[in-house]
């Protein structure tokens, strides 16, 4: 069937366009879109039954579960943006004000709990931020590093891997000279170009590299690769010594002895029978 008023030329063109399929053809009809999947036009207004604060009391909003509160807040925001009436904006700003007050209440309560139970959650007693406290903390760390490195010199040694033409190795050698004068450690220098087996055994590909070994043990640990200052060398060596001695693990590798049992001791909370959330 052709539309009324179509010219003979139009009818002929449509006939030949349609017959390109052949005389016997079949095509699946276009899929029927589920009405539930049809998205409303962006220009269409919001549904009339959108949420309103008229059905809530302040107590209900204050005690509303956070996920439900956030959902309602988002809806009221969209409602106010879509239709910025005085009432819609007042409802949205009211929700914002309640959210701000809830956050303030949480902050106040958290400060109260952390101050009251400071031994559990406050780290200032082992990591102070005030000037005098910082000075004392740094001194404690330095003393612990010095004592540990000094004692370990009796049964530990450093292997210093170098290579020809390595300017960085020369700089590190000068730093190691100061280290040796301070602690009296044994340091063995290994040229990886001449001692290929040693380089392969310890998988050394970068110079300079410092390796820590312990007498009577096959275990070893890399202290550093590349040039490192004396203070950082002492700190990294301190941690490597404690690791080889079995005094630290991966989960408390950076911890100092004076921090044991504190908030800087990750696994101290796992002590048997400890339930810090129970208020007596």
Sign of the C-alpha dihedral computed for residues 89, 94, 95 and 99 taken in this order: positive
pLDDT digits (tens, 9 = 90+) for 243-259: 999 999 899 999 998 88
pLDDT digits (tens, 9 = 90+) for 76-126: 999 999 999 999 999 999 999 999 999 999 999 998 888 888 777 777 777
pLDDT digits (tens, 9 = 90+) for 31-67: 666 655 545 444 444 444 567 898 999 999 999 999 9
Domains and CATH numbers, the chain: 53-113 (no CATH), 131-248 (3.40.30.10)
**pLDDT value, residue 22:** 53
Distance CA 101, CA 107 (A): 10
Torsion of CA 248, 253, 254, 258, to 10 degrees: -20
């Amino acid at each position: 069937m052709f539309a009324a008023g179509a010219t003979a030329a139009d009818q002929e063109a449509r006939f030949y366009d349609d017959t390109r399929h052949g005389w016997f053809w079949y095509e699946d009809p276009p899929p029927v879109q589920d009405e539930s999947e049809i998205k409303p036009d962006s220009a269409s207004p919001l549904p009339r039954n959108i949420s309103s604060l008229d059905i809530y009391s302040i107590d209900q909003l204050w005690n509303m579960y956070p996920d439900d509160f956030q959902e309602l807040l988002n809806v009221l925001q969209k409602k106010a943006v879509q239709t910025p009436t005085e009432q819609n904006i007042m409802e949205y700003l009211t929700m914002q004000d309640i959210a701000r007050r809830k956050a303030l209440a949480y902050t106040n309560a958290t400060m109260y709990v952390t101050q009251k139970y400071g031994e559990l959650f406050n780290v200032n007693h082992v990591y102070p931020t005030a000037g005098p406290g910082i000075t004392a903390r740094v001194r404690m760390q330095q003393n612990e590093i010095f004592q540990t490195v000094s004692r370990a010199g009796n049964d530990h040694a450093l292997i210093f891997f170098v290579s020809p033409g390595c300017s960085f190795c020369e700089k590190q050698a000068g730093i190691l000279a100061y280290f040796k004068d301070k602690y009296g450690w044994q340091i063995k220098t290994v040229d990886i170009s001449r001692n290929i087996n040693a380089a392969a055994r310890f998988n050394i590909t970068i110079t300079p590299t410092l390796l820590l070994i312990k007498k009577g043990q096959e275990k070893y640990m890399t202290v550093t690769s590349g040039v490192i200052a004396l203070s950082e060398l002492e700190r990294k060596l301190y941690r490597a010594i404690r690791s080889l001695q079995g005094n630290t693990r991966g989960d408390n590798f950076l911890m100092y002895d004076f921090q044991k049992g504190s908030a800087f001791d990750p696994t101290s909370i796992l002590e048997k029978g400890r339930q810090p959330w129970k208020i007596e």
